[in-house]
Structure 1
């Protein structure tokens, strides 16, 4: 059945760019707020909140599930469904990812990088699996960190199977039930791992694998189904009723087990609570003039959102090599606090400049090729460049 509302995959929704930018800033604060070693009590209190920055990845997952599923639903009856989807995804994701890996390999003699056979898993977006089997694979000693690439692997694994499922399940209602069922399956699997494995290992396996951390992707997909099934105003009324329960659930989990993901309450109940909260956030961002829409439309957040993929890939790539800069700044400024804050701001600025230059001079050239794989709609005016989840 044709969508009764405007096709969201055919429009550019500026507020979602802002949410993407917010997601990156949360992740950035997690990685750098925890490592600045500021001693001031107020700064330390602020940096405590940075422990929750890992939740930005779940916001990324919700946005990806929402946007990608929307594209798939809107194009599954069109010619070249699989070819166009995978070609466009490859042109957006692969050039930067594989170029970075290639450059790192070429820099081996200068950085004295210690590669292992297990690092080959990153070529196949399986680094999340390999690094759980061998924690040494999260970095290439002594200068490079690959820690953050696990989430890209999870998304690519999702993209590999989800288009086929969307194609095979014609009923949107049935697809929505499948989203719920898979989420429950992930919950059961997480509980099983917590019961059968040492607690520390179980946390990592639950956090960094698609079957155990797909709530955000699935809830985002559910949101995409809803906006194509329920009139938007009616859906927003329902969303506003759900928000208090989602937020209350998340708050209870945080009070119970802490803000970090290394806790049983967060692993078991926090993932679906986060997915529900962020899905409601994405849906509320669709309402022009609403509070979430206005926040997501802030120019600063939208700027970060535009370059968020590159910023995510680059932001801690050379963290092991640059950690000495923190100590140097603290020594030169004679202040642990001031040096720590300056280090965080310096890393954010360097990440931003690198990502902007990378996108404008390199990635954009590949994106121009997406025109060769444009969706040819028989029913509506689909605009194919509204798809970029990251």
Structure 2
């Protein structure tokens, strides 16, 4: 599962590089939605298969906060500094905004929550207004985000808010799943759900993807565990199949919408095997720990290399993409060493405390840092639409 998460993060990086890079691996939009499925699986595991947060919802929220914010705030601060050093065009952008939009952007840049809502707002008649799409705006508000792809974290955080009250109840889980799928069907039938941002940024419809992942954990993982005792290489085979799919996605010649839907179902069906594979292989876990910082830092890395090697990006895009990917991996390892690892020790203490005062020992989780990166802006270059 770790290597798969990093492949999905790299799908987002390639998508945001634009050009022919966007059609490699699974693409940005599908990567985002597959991350939602993976997140649903892992959060279901944490909340329902361990004793860590039973009756300790506040500690669950604190743990999620410590997972998301330290690296995000570090990268956002470095991006702010980069904008200041590059001439201040970012700050002049704010000067053209009404106060309400400026406040909206500042708060969402700090707290993350709300960055996904921003995609449904715009500026009309010099006022912040609900427009239904970031594209219908006198000024493109997403240009005021320090970490443009972090809007997906807003969607993730909405799921975290409801997860403790839903995942432990099969009735609530299934009810919300049906409601979310029904709402998506209504929006698609009306035509609204066929255009960005309603396609994959609207939490009530994306909730179904998280819940599909949760069902994969609760229904399929126990069965696959039993089968894996007899077929020892079953986790390796399932993980290899998902890896192969990531490489071949764009070569599957069927309707893209059908193809993406089948990809979601395939991942949901085989995620338990990837989870078991991760529990057997420390290297897979280590690679997976790079996925979140890669997702968070790649806009800054692209900005840096675009400033440093602008001509190279135009004339040798493959070499430029290789440099960006290498830079993302190296920077991510640095972020983990300097920020994530020390914070992980604090998160571990929180998890231990949450296991209860009854002396019960914690159930080990496959991989210390479970949170999958959330991901991308729309298909195309990061310098265009978010």
Alignment TM-score, normalising by the size of structure 2:
0.70
Q: Cα–Cα, structure 1 residues 105 and 222, in superposed 2: closer, same or farther, change >3 Å?
A: same
| Larger mean Cα displacement after TM superposition, 152-161 or 369-378 | 369-378
Q: CA deviation at 1:97?
A: 1.7
Q: 1-side partners of 2:209 and 2:202: how far apart?
A: 13
Q: Secondary structure at the match of 2:355?
A: coil
Q: 1-side partners of 2:225 and 2:118: how far apart?
A: 42
Q: Cα–Cα, structure 1 residues 363 and 302, in superposed 2: closer, same or farther, change >3 Å?
A: closer
Are the aligned partners of 1:193 and 1:206 in contact in 2 as well (CA < 8 Å)? no
Aligned position for 2:159: 158
| Corresponding residue to 1:389 among 357, 367, 371 | 371
Aligned position for 1:205: 198
Are the aligned partners of 1:61 and 1:216 in contact in 2 as well (CA < 8 Å)? yes
Aligned position for 2:271: 282
Q: 2-side partners of 1:102 and 1:234: how far apart?
A: 48
Q: CA deviation at 1:70?
A: 0.9
- Can you list the C-alpha shifts for 1:310-334, whole angstroms capped at 9, x where unaligned? 1100112364564455641167xxx
Aligned length: 328
Q: 1-side partners of 2:287 and 2:276: how far apart?
A: 21
Q: 1-side partners of 2:143 and 2:190: how far apart?
A: 27
Which runs of 5 or more structure 1 residues have no equivalent in the other structure?
A: 1-15, 36-43, 170-174, 259-265
- Can you list the C-alpha shifts for 1:306-365, whole angstroms capped at 9, x where unaligned? 22111100112364564455641167xxxx3xx111100111111112111111012222
Aligned position for 1:308: 291
Q: 1-side partners of 2:54 and 2:187: how far apart?
A: 42
Provide the aligned C-alpha RMSD in A: 3.9
Q: 1-side partners of 2:324 and 2:224: how far apart?
A: 44
Aligned position for 1:41: none
Q: CA deviation at 1:371?
A: 3.5
- Can you list the C-alpha shifts for 1:272-329, whole angstroms capped at 9, x where unaligned? 53332111221222556xxxx79x9594x65442221111001123645644556411
Q: Secondary structure at the match of 2:210?
A: helix
- 1:291-370 equivalences under 5 Å are 299=283, 302-317=285-300, 319=302, 322-323=305-306, 327-329=310-312, 336=315, 339-370=316-347
Aligned position for 2:131: none
Are the aligned partners of 1:21 and 1:303 in contact in 2 as well (CA < 8 Å)? no
Q: 1-side partners of 2:52 and 2:70: how far apart?
A: 29
Which runs of 5 or more structure 2 residues have no equivalent in the other structure?
A: 95-101, 123-133, 135-139, 373-386
Q: 2-side partners of 1:324 and 1:386: how far apart?
A: 35
- Can you list the C-alpha shifts for 1:24-58, whole angstroms capped at 9, x where unaligned? 122222222x33xxxxxxxx5x7634573432223
Q: 2-side partners of 1:309 and 1:389: how far apart?
A: 7
Alignment TM-score, normalising by the size of structure 1:
0.70
Q: 2-side partners of 1:323 and 1:78: how far apart?
A: 44
Q: Cα–Cα, structure 1 residues 302 and 365, in superposed 2: closer, same or farther, change >3 Å?
A: closer
Aligned position for 1:117: 103
Q: 1-side partners of 2:327 and 2:369: how far apart?
A: 27
Q: 1-side partners of 2:298 and 2:154: how far apart?
A: 17
- 1:1-390 equivalences under 5 Å are 16-32=1-17, 34-35=18-19, 44=20, 48-49=23-24, 52-75=27-50, 80-105=55-80, 109-111=84-86, 112=88, 113=90, 114-115=93-94, 116-119=102-105, 120-122=107-109, 123-134=111-122, 135=134, 136-140=140-144, 146-167=147-168, 169=169, 175=170, 178-196=172-190, 202-227=195-220, 230=223, 232-234=225-227, 255=253, 257-258=255-256, 266=257, 272-286=261-275, 299=283, 302-317=285-300, 319=302, 322-323=305-306, 327-329=310-312, 336=315, 339-373=316-350, 374=352, 375-376=354-355, 381-383=362-364, 386=368, 388-390=370-372
